[in-house]
Amino acid sequence: MLRRGFLPNIGNLLAFEATARHGSVSRAAEELNLTQSAVSRQIQQLEDSLGVSLFSRSRQRVVLTDVGRLYASQVRGTLTELSDATHQAIALSGTKGVLNLATLPTFGTRWLIPRIPHFLSLHPDATVNFGVRLVPFDFATEPFDAAIHFGEPHWPGAICELLRREEAVPVCSPAYREHEKIRSPQDLARATLLQQSTRPTAWAEWFASVTVEAGNSIRGPRFEQFAMVAQAAAAGLGVGLIPNFLIADELASGRLEVLFPQSILSVGAYYLVYPEHKAEAPLVRSFRDWILEESHQG
């Protein structure tokens, strides 16, 4: 609950934050389009209301005290959040619902976002905001209504809906295949293997599935995202082991080609995750129904 007696005048806070950031009353006054005396007066009012000195004053200089330095950092964050909230409120004028979604980068850019126009055609008054999260988080402390998660269906206080499994195939550019004369799975034992850092055993599993002794299967450059692996493979840096649904465009254009039909199925899977208390929220429910249908269609 807000304690109204502890909420300073926002004009005074703006004057204090600008002066703290610039280290100068005159520069703060110029930014705020006020006179120097007005800014000084607002800072004095703030100090009087708090009962502490926020600046030490020496001739023409103002220097934050220890208390002032801590307060400036917190005030700056609060003013930023207030500005963002105001901007969002204005931006959402006329909409009937907002869905804040955390997604994995490659899944979001390669699979989900290209399909979002279809969702919005069904819900024209909705707005979907995207953020990136790579690991599970606490919905109570993050500004998200739902998330795309890869791994096991374990997320405290949340419901996990299976979207799809991850089936990866070996791919490279046509030029790389020709240059390295890759004709059989055995030939990959001497190729440059592009590694996805969150799937460190993928190549070892693939070589085992085709009964090829590859030696050191974790050799080769490492990348944090499948999108980076795909780009590296298309640039001719080596062979990537990538889920085919994430590289549909590259395969269709011929920038990448599947070397061999043998694939590996990851232990984890992609899930839509949302907090239990939002299970019946209209927009969350609509998005859940839509994305489950889309995932079943491929």
| Residue ranges covered by each domain of the chain | 10-92, 97-164+269-297, 167-265
Equal fold, 97-164+269-297 vs 167-265: yes
Give the per-residue pLDDT at 258: 97
Torsions phi, psi for 120 (to 5 deg): -70, -25
CA distances from 230 to 135, 203, 263 (A): 22, 15, 16
CATH number for the segment(s) 167-265 = 3.40.190.10
Burial grade of 183 (CB within 10 A; 0-12, 13-18, 19 or more): exposed
Instruction: Tell me the average pLDDT across 257-284.
Output: 94
Tell me, yes or no, if the pTM score tops 0.95.
no
List, for residues 89-140, the tens digit of each pLDDT value: 655 544 458 999 999 999 999 999 999 999 999 999 999 999 999 999 999 8
Find out whether 50 and 87 touch, Cβ atoms under 8 Å.
Answer: no
pLDDT of residue 85: 74
Q: What is the mean pLDDT of residues 282-290?
A: 96
pLDDT at 94 (0 to 100): 44
- Widest pairwise Cα distance in the chain: 80
Q: What is the average pLDDT value for the chain, to the nearest integer?
A: 91
20's CB contacts (< 8 A; 6+ apart) are 54, 55, 64, 68, 69, 72, 76
Residue-level pLDDT at 96:
58
Four-way CATH pick for 97-164+269-297: 3.50.50.60, 3.40.50.10800, 3.40.50.10860, 3.40.190.10: 3.40.190.10
pLDDT > 90 fraction of the chain, expressed in percent and rounded: 80
Tell me the CATH number for domain 10-92: 1.10.10.10
Q: Supply the angle between the helices 66-91 and 10-22 in degrees, to the nearest 10.
A: 120
Q: What is the pLDDT of residue 153?
A: 94
Distance from C-alpha of 68 to C-alpha of 81, rounded to nearest angstrom: 20
Q: Are strands 239-243 and 158-172 parallel, antiparallel or unpaired?
A: antiparallel
Q: Is pLDDT of 213 > 80?
A: yes
User: What's the pLDDT score for residue 95?
Assistant: 46
Q: What are the phi and psi torsion angles at 231 (to 5°)?
A: -65, -40
pLDDT (0 to 100) of residue 4 = 58
Does the pLDDT at position 206 exceed 90? yes
Q: Are 56 and 63 within 8 A, CB to CB? A: yes
Q: Of 13-17, 142-146, 175-179, which one has max mean pLDDT?
A: 175-179
Q: What whole-number percentage of the chain has pLDDT above 70? A: 94
Coil, strand, or helix at residue 135? coil
